[in-house]
Amino acid sequence: MPEVTTSDVVEHFNLEILAGHEGVYRAITTSDISRPGIEIAGFFTYYPAKRIQLLGRKEVAFFQQLTKKQKIERMEKLCTYDTPGIILSRDLIPPPELIDSGNKIAVPVMRSNMTTTRLSSELRNFLEIQLAKTTAVHGVLIDIYGIGVLLTGASGVGKSETALDLVRRGHRLVADDSVEIRQLQGNILIGRAPELIEHLLEIRGLGIIDVMTLFGAGAIRPHKRISMSIHLEQWDEKKAYDRLGIEEETIRILDTDIPKYTIPVRPGRNLAVIVEVAAMNFRLKRMGINTAQEFSERLTHVIEDGDWEEF
Residues contributing to the annotated binding site for ATP = 153-160
Angle between helices 68-78 and 96-105 (to 10 degrees): 40
CA distance 118 to 115: 5
- The conformation of residue 20, written as its DSSP 8-state character, comes to -
The separation between CA 238 and the C-alpha centre of its own chain, rounded to angstroms, equals 39
- The conformation of residue 219, written as its DSSP 8-state character, comes to G
Q: How many CA atoms lie within 13 A of 126 on its CB side?
A: 18
Tell me the one-letter amino acid at 247: E
CA distance 106 to 119: 23
Tell me the one-letter amino acid at 36: P
CA distance 265 to 154: 11
Looking at the annotation, which residues are catalytic?
A: 138, 159, 177, 243
Q: Is there a contact between 28 and 131 (Cβ–Cβ < 8 Å)? A: yes
Q: Which helix (H) or strand (E) holds 7?
A: helix 6-13
Binding-site residues for Mg(2+): 160, 202
CA distance 224 to 192: 7
Q: Is there a contact between 54 and 110 (Cβ–Cβ < 8 Å)? A: no
In the chain, beta strands by DSSP E: 4-5, 16-19, 27-28, 33-34, 52-55, 86-88, 109-111, 133-138, 140-144, 147-153, 172-175, 178-184, 188-192, 200-203, 207-210, 223-225, 228-234, 249-253, 256-265
